[in-house]
């Protein structure tokens, strides 16, 4: 069986010719969690934007569910089963929590099933149910992150792209978010996770890639990368049990 997602030798440019992605190739199997880690400016967000159609690759191909979506508009990619929860949450601040969630189902017309999905989102995130009539802009950062993930799930995607879900959150809330991601994956949703908390990402994931300066420099099982001294030195500040003060 072919991977659910394949990125094949993708080159993406933006902002007046900046070469952001330089021949990136990766794959994500159905049912797994794949992590993408890398330093700030490595091209991680650009890669997710290229996959979901917000920007288009100049060369290379993006294959999702055996279909070439390289030049497909973003809204049609969502309809095909690929959802994106962007960095910075980007909730609609002047709309309620419930209105934000319903907007996530804009490609759907099956109201009984939409209500069933909404009920499931509220099971994942009880806080959202408690605040369903509250304006999204008045939520805490953690609540807005829950809302961004929940909104993406309202499209009932077969694959979820997550960009920095732990950014700005405290350790307890990060642990809760990652536990929910495990549940979402266990329910059948494939996940590609971009995450600045490399240790947490590699602990959660099955497969992982390291992106630096627009190129994949390491890949393998998440467990292998978690134990790799190059990864430990760059992202954990530890090699052979010695710490160097990085977080």
Instruction: Please provide residue 56's backbone torsions phi and psi, each rounded to the nearest 5 degrees.
Output: -120, 140
The pLDDT value recorded for residue 245 is: 36
Q: Using the predicted structure, report yes or no on whether residue 108 has a pLDDT greater than 60.
A: yes
Average per-residue pLDDT for the chain:
92
Q: Using the predicted structure, report yes or no on whether residue 96 has a pLDDT greater than 70.
A: yes
The pLDDT value recorded for residue 247 is: 33
Question: Beta-carbon neighbour count of residue 41 at 10 Å?
Answer: 12
The pLDDT value recorded for residue 240 is: 46
Q: How many domains does the chain have?
A: 2
Residues 6+ apart with CB under 8 A from 217: 210, 211
Asked if residue 48 lies in contact with residue 194, where contact means CB atoms within 8 angstroms, the answer is: yes
The pLDDT value recorded for residue 170 is: 84
pTM of this prediction? 0.90
Evaluate whether residue 232 is within a structural domain. Answer: yes
Quote the domain boundaries for residue 106.
88-156
The pLDDT value recorded for residue 46 is: 95
Percent of the chain exceeding pLDDT 90 equals 81
The pLDDT value recorded for residue 15 is: 76
Evaluate whether residue 25 is within a structural domain. Answer: yes
Evaluate whether residue 177 is within a structural domain. Answer: no
Please tell me the distance from the alpha carbon of residue 124 to that of residue 180, in angstroms, as a whole number. 7
Q: Using the predicted structure, report yes or no on whether residue 241 has a pLDDT greater than 80.
A: no
Ranges assigned E (strand) in 89-175: 159-163
Summarize pLDDT for 139-182 with one digit per residue, the tens: 998 899 999 999 999 999 999 999 999 888 888 888 988 999 99
- Ranges 82-86, 97-101, 121-125, 166-170: which has the least confidence: 166-170
Which of 66, 88, 89, 154 lies closest to 118 in space, CA to CA?
A: 154
Q: How confident is the model at residue 237 (pLDDT cuts 50, 70, 90)?
A: low
Residues 6+ apart with CB under 8 A from 71: 56
Evaluate whether residue 217 is within a structural domain. Answer: yes
Q: What is the CATH number of the domain that holds 43?
A: 3.40.50.300
> 200 and 113 in one domain?
no
Asked if residue 165 lies in contact with residue 86, where contact means CB atoms within 8 angstroms, the answer is: no
Evaluate whether residue 223 is within a structural domain. Answer: yes
């Amino acid at each position: 069986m072919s991977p659910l997602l394949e990125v094949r030798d993708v080159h993406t440019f933006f902002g007046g010719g900046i070469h952001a992605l330089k021949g990136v190739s990766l794959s994500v199997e159905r049912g797994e969690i794949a992590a993408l880690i890398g330093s700030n400016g490595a091209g991680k967000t650009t890669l997710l934007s290229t996959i979901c159609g917000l920007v288009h690759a100049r060369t290379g191909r993006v294959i999702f569910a055996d279909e070439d979506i390289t030049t497909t508009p973003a809204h049609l990619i969502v309809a095909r089963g690929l959802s994106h929860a962007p960095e910075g949450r980007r909730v609609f601040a002047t709309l309620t929590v419930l209105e934000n969630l319903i907007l996530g189902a804009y490609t759907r017309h099956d109201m009984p099933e939409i209500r069933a999905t909404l009920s499931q989102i509220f099971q994942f995130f009880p806080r959202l149910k408690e605040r369903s009539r509250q304006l999204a802009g008045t939520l805490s950062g953690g609540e807005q992150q829950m809302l961004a993930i929940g909104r993406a799930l309202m499209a009932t995607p077969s694959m979820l792209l997550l960009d920095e879900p732990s950014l700005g959150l405290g350790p307890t809330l990060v642990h809760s978010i990652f536990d929910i991601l495990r549940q979402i994956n266990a329910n059948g949703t494939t996940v590609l996770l971009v995450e600045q908390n490399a240790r947490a990402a590699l602990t959660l994931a099955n497969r992982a890639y390291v992106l630096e300066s627009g190129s994949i420099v390491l890949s393998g099982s998440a467990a292998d990368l978690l134990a790799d001294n190059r990864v430990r030195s760059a992202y954990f500040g530890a090699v052979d049990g010695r710490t160097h003060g990085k977080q």
